[in-house]
A and B are shown apart, each in its own frame.
Chain A
Amino acid sequence: MKRSFLTAAMAASLVVSAGAVPVAAQDALEGDLTLWHTYSSGAGTELDALNAVLANVAAANPGLNVEVLEVPFGDVFNKWQLEVASGEGPDLMIVPNDSLGQLTRDGLIADITDMVPAEALAELSQLSIDGSSVDGRLMQVPESLKAVAMYYNKDKVATPPATTDELLAAVEGGLKLGLLQGIYHNFGFAGAFGGSLMDADGKCTADAGGFAEALQFLADLKAAGAVIDPSYDNMANGLKDGTYDAIIDGPWAAGGYAAAVPNLGVAAMPAGPAGPSLPFAGVDGWLINPNGNMELAVKAALAMTSAENQKIFADTAFHIPANTTIAIDDPISAQFATAVAEGFPRPQSAQFGAFWGPFGDALNKVLDGGMAPADAIAEACVAMNAANGF
């Protein structure tokens, strides 16, 4: 930590001295904060970006003491819940908005609608604000957006397939495609085939069409030679060592891929007969602990998501900033920004929580068990509705 901190601090001072927009004039923050994150040092460059931003904030607020803890992503939500529920916990943490709805309903994160000044909100994209809100209340300080798109090796793939038919043809023609066998990464295809997951009440409408065709498409890809594997490791390593020419993944890993693949390209997930792919558009943000120093935490979060600091994340870690005043230069990030803008905002309703189990299972049943996609989706819908009490 010491070594990377020093290099990050040096990088930060370079950015500051390059004449970037200074932090908006405000009273310097003072006090103690505890902060959690899940950026593990091996996978990408997010940790470096965070360290640089922290260095910036420390420089601008010498009276502010921030204690940083990295928690493994698989444990962080449980840990947060246990701690906050028993009256303790850190002051803030940065995570994707996966559980925003559930945490709100359980009273484990603070409602910060009234703590974020209007000027700050004005700089943020509407999509990020929506993704950070539950029932109209703002529950996290938005940091970045993400959606999956197709990474490809430009040396092997001249023009990336733009439609699902083209992709299938390419795979049949020898394109080495690696997909993750998970419902999150492949959700976009459902929209490409015209599927819609839930109606306004949260009742499952996936069996009305679209989803079954998407699963059939995946089965066709597999039959044509694509490798669909539940191991994230295998997919990521596969692109890096050349086993795969193309994969579908999110911007969080772009740093690692860019380092390993010299000519890296990113394209939107292929469009389908019914329109463009609609992958999940998620928002990473700072959750605030209702037990902690909320005001200070919110101010610190806003400082860390200022335009200048968001630029660091955008440049170093390929994040798509929630702040609309930042220009995205990098072609990879630009492509992800498009994917996000055209994505399907991740629902926060309680009913959505019942989506993952049944539909993940449907995917497995079709790909591993050879089940007919229509039947699998029908079953999944029934199970999801049953879990939601419909």
Chain B
Amino acid sequence: MSRETILRVEDVSKTFGGILALNRLSFDVGRGEVLGIIGPNGSGKTTVVNCITGFVKMSSGKVFFKGKDISGKPPHKIADMGVTRTFQVMRPYYSLPAYKNLVIPLFSPRARRTGGWRGGGKLGDRNTVGIDILEEIGFERDSFVPYKMASTLPTGYLKRLELARCLALQPEVILCDEVFSGLSMSEIASMVPLIERIQMDGITVVMIEHRLRELFRVANRIVVLNFGEKLMEGVPEEVMSDERVREAYFGSEEVEEVMTYA
């Protein structure tokens, strides 16, 4: 099953002062797939997202989106083109209620063009569309949850809010930075259908994750990073059984059932 490449990372390197965070990294993302990016701490996963989305300038290399070179473009332009991201350190707009948090992305030029995820083309009143999006994403409409201040929401809701902020732009690609972290097993279990639904809408999802068991259930392919380089890529079964990957995470001792407990 070959997919058309929607995002291509080509030979990207990034140094921070004396640290080589990314070292000539290359990989492709197919349109409509769920790609997982994994690797031990410090392997450069968040840096990849920052470089792709323009929050950090790459030292060298290129990034292509739908064939167009987006390297070095400012973050808001890249988001406007349809490549969105969530943040690992969540920061919603604390002083606003949850649904008002969505008014801001719905105000953007892209949302106005595309109608904002199931907005149906023409953007209606942003408050209403915001509540609709929240309902789609799993906030109960009839309770007061969408109206609560973002500062009072628990982590599970905040993670969904982060995703909602991306979805409001009707993106083509979402880069999720550790969206499962901080959630309990059942919370993650309820988020997996959401990711699947996003994929069914035709959106390409790239997930940086540490929670490997849960990730392997959603991801179509995995890219493994180590020290800023691509260690290997493949389908989850291949990655699970690969010696090099185990070594990267756990060192070279014999460890059983490595992937199940990651």
Is this pair of chains taken from one and the same complex? no
